């Protein structure tokens, strides 16, 4: 935890992330390439679903990441409201578009998988619907960031919205257990261990790890951009104030 | 404490009654939506009576949403929100009073008007009382989830459209159980009481969560 507190200083975070990023990106690329190779060439076609099973290797990690990023945003929201951590709202703001993208990827790949398997791109099934609601909540959060001009005020407002919207995440997770609809029940993280075979589980896990690291890279880049954007904003304000003062003293700008 | 609570409540009711633009507007909007649906779907009375409860619930939901941005914004503009924040009354109770006033002037009239609008969509007689009941216990959830959204956008100059966008996804459970209870009364496999009790539970939870979230949002706003 000591390192997390050290990182609360944005300057330290910038220095630390600049060092970490290339390594993180390299490992992420390695894992994604290896995972994709295993998933495309080594994993067997499913005995029922045939080659379409390969969509799963993108679809499932995207779904996990959509929920993981929302959970991370909820933790960041606590960081903003409770601990007043100076980087929490930067993390939260940077995470929203990434989480929204993964939710969208999950929905699109799900639709492409659903067409051959279920015969339709979309059904109003509990799991599908709750992920769509997750995407809407993400979009609402991004919209609220955009309409509030003052970053610290926006951060606290968004934090409250994020925590309120968090009720949806357990609903997504358990939707397949609570409602007996078209989407298949949980088969990896469940009581009694995974229900899918090792030949598919391994590529899935490697890809999930690779996508997660990739997402964290994106997140870190976005956080760095946000910190720099805020510095520019502060400098602009300071410069404007300085010119104001000079003008008041009668010095031409 | 309770005097301050009642003072805010009665003030909001008075403002709604005299200044207008709140409850009546929601009612007119409710009527407009209900009238528009048969034009879109065609005047087939069998179809309309089958989906009647859903139409009325959707109309009520949208009617609650349109006026929400004014819930705290007008108080923010004329400065009374600062007075409420500075008073001894806990902000949560002030929000509870305002949310209650919002429900009394919006949700309650919508529920009471629903049988009349039910005629327009050929709602069967045995479905009328259950529909009123679901709207009565369901609309408080809309008011209080909405209050949280409205508090987030209080003081925004261009906040008009953002409140419904923020609030609508969170109202999905209310809509699901409200409509399924209203439909259950018209026959079906589920008994009326099951979704109805869940709807009551959602409303109670929304009153608590919405009040706390809205008060937290208002505290951050200054």
A148 vs B135 pLDDT, higher one: B135
**Hunting for tokens 């799991």 — which residue is that?**
A127
B150 touching A (Cβ < 8 Å): no
Neighbours of A121 (CB within 10 A): 13
Cα(B139)–Cα(B145) distance, rounded to whole angstroms? 10
A164 contacts in chain B (CB < 8 Å): 148, 170, 209, 213
Those residues with Cβ within 8 angstroms of residue B172's Cβ, 6 or more apart along the chain or in another chain: A129, A133
B212 touching A (Cβ < 8 Å): no
Cα(B32)–Cα(B39) distance, rounded to whole angstroms? 11
State mean pLDDT over A98-102.
94
Give the closest-approach CA distance of A110 to chain B in angstroms.
21
B44 vs B130 pLDDT, higher one: B130
* ipTM here: 0.72
pLDDT at residue B183, as a whole number: 86
pLDDT at residue B47, as a whole number: 85
pLDDT at residue A12, as a whole number: 84
The answer to whether the CB atoms of A137 and B220 lie below 8 A apart is no
The answer to whether the CB atoms of B166 and A140 lie below 8 A apart is yes
pLDDT at residue A187, as a whole number: 65
Residue range B94-126, pLDDT digits in tens: 999 999 999 998 899 999 998 888 888 888 888
- Taking each helix axis from N to C terminus, what angle separates B193-220 and B91-102, rounded to the nearest 10 degrees? 130
Q: Which of B145, B160, B219 is nearest to A164 (CA)?
A: B145
Neighbours of A14 (CB within 10 A): 15
pLDDT at residue A212, as a whole number: 93
State mean pLDDT over B164-187.
87
A167 contacts in chain B (CB < 8 Å): 170
CB nearest B148 (choices: A137, A143, A164): A164
CB nearest B169 (choices: A140, A148, A163): A140
A199, pLDDT greater than 80: no
Secondary structure (DSSP) of A136-178: HHHHHHHHHHHH--SHHHHHHHHHHHHHHHTTHHHHHHHHHHH
B152 contacts in chain A (CB < 8 Å): 144, 157, 160-161
Cβ atoms of residues B221 and A153 within 8 Å: yes
**Hunting for tokens 């330290």 — which residue is that?**
A12
**Hunting for tokens 């008073």 — which residue is that?**
B87
State mean pLDDT over A6-20.
81
Q: Which of A242, A193, A226 is nearest to A90 (CA)?
A: A226
| Count of CB pairs separated by less than 8 Å, A with B | 53
* CB under 8 A, 24+ apart: contacts of A173-176: A173/A67, A175/A126, A175/A127, A175/A130, A176/A126, A176/A127
Residue range B52-94, pLDDT digits in tens: 888 999 999 999 988 888 888 888 888 888 888 888 888 899 9
B164 contacts in chain A (CB < 8 Å): none
A124, pLDDT greater than 60: yes
Those residues with Cβ within 8 angstroms of residue A191's Cβ, 6 or more apart along the chain or in another chain: none
A253, pLDDT greater than 60: no
pLDDT at residue A225, as a whole number: 93
State mean pLDDT over A30-52.
81
pLDDT bucket at A3, cuts 50 / 70 / 90: low
B168 contacts in chain A (CB < 8 Å): 136
The answer to whether the CB atoms of B169 and A137 lie below 8 A apart is yes
pLDDT at residue A1, as a whole number: 44
Which residue of B161, B169, B201 to mutate against A (max A Cβ within 10 Å)?
Answer: B169
Cα(B122)–Cα(A131) distance, rounded to whole angstroms? 35
CB nearest B220 (choices: A140, A143, A157): A157
Locate all alpha helices (DSSP H) within chain A, ordered by sequence: 2-6, 10-37, 56-78, 88-118, 126-147, 151-165, 168-178, 198-248
pLDDT at residue A176, as a whole number: 63
CB nearest B162 (choices: A143, A164, A167): A143
pLDDT at residue A94, as a whole number: 93
State mean pLDDT over A56-72.
90
- Asked which of A66-70, A172-176, B30-34 is least confident by mean pLDDT, the reply is A172-176
CB nearest B220 (choices: A147, A153, A165): A153
CA dist A173 → A60, A130, B176 (Å): 12, 9, 18
Q: DSSP 3-state assignment of A125?
A: coil
Task: Name every residue in A having a CB less than 8 A away from some CB of B.
Answer: 81, 129, 133, 136-137, 139-140, 143-144, 147-148, 153, 156-157, 160-161, 163-165, 167-168
Residue range B190-199, pLDDT digits in tens: 788 888 999 9
Residue range A68-78, pLDDT digits in tens: 999 999 999 99
Cα(A91)–Cα(B92) distance, rounded to whole angstroms? 29
CA dist A61 → A132, A169, A199, A202, B2 (Å): 16, 16, 17, 13, 52
CB nearest B162 (choices: A147, A165, A167): A147
Q: What percent of chain A has pLDDT over 70?
A: 86
Q: Give the pTM.
A: 0.80
CB nearest B152 (choices: A133, A161, A167): A161
B159, pLDDT greater than 70: no
A119, pLDDT greater than 50: yes
User: How confident is the prediction for chain A on average, in pLDDT?
Assistant: 83
The answer to whether the CB atoms of A164 and B158 lie below 8 A apart is no
């Amino acid at each position: 935890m000591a390192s997390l507190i050290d990182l609360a200083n944005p300057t330290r975070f910038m220095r630390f992330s600049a060092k970490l990023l290339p390594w993180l990106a390299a490992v992420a690329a390695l894992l994604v390439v290896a995972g994709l190779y295993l998933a495309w060439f080594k994993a067997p076609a499913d005995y029922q679903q045939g080659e379409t099973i390969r969509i799963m290797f993108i679809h499932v990690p995207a779904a996990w990441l959509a929920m993981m990023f929302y959970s991370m945003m909820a933790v960041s929201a606590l960081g903003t409201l409770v601990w007043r951590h100076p980087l929490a709202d930067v993390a939260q703001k940077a995470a929203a578009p990434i989480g929204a993208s993964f939710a969208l990827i999950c929905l699109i790949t799900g639709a492409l998988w659903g067409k051959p398997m279920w015969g339709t791109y979309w059904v109003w099934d509990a799991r599908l619907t709750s992920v769509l609601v997750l995407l809407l909540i993400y979009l609402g959060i991004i919209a609220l960031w955009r309409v509030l001009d003052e970053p610290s005020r926006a951060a606290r407002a968004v934090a409250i919205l994020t925590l309120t919207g968090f009720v949806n995440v357990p609903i997504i997770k358990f939707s397949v257990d609570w409602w007996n609809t078209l989407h298949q029940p949980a088969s990896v993280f469940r009581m009694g261990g995974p229900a899918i075979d090792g030949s598919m589980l391994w590529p899935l896990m490697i890809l999930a790890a690779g996508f997660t690291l990739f997402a964290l890279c994106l997140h870190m880049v976005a956080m760095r951009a946000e910190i720099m954007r805020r510095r520019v904003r502060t400098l602009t304000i300071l410069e404007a104030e300085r010119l104001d003062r000079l003008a008041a003293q009668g010095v031409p700008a | 404490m309770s005097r301050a609570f009642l003072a805010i409540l009665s003030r909001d009711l008075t403002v709604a009654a005299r200044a207008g633009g709140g409850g009546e507007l929601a009612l007119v909007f409710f009527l407009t939506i209900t009238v528009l649906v048969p034009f879109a779907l065609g005047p087939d009375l069998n179809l309309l009576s089958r989906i009647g409860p859903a139409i009325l619930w959707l109309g009520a939901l949208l009617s609650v949403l349109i006026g929400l941005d004014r819930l705290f914004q007008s108080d923010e503009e004329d400065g009374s929100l600062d007075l409420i924040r500075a008073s001894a009354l806990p902000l949560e109770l002030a929000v509870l009073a305002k949310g209650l006033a919002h429900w009394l002037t919006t949700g309650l009239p919508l529920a009471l008007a629903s049988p009349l609008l039910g005629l327009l969509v050929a709602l069967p007689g045995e479905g009328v009382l259950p529909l009123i009941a679901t709207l009565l216990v369901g609309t408080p959830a809309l008011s209080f989830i909405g209050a949280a959204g409205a508090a987030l956008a209080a003081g925004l100059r261009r906040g008009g459209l953002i409140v419904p966008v923020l609030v609508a996804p969170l109202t999905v459970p209310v809509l699901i159980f409200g409509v399924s209870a209203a439909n259950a009364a018209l026959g079906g496999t589920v008994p009326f009481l099951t979704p109805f009790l869940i709807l009551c539970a959602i409303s109670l939870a929304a009153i608590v969560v919405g009040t706390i979230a809205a008060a937290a949002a208002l505290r951050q706003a200054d």
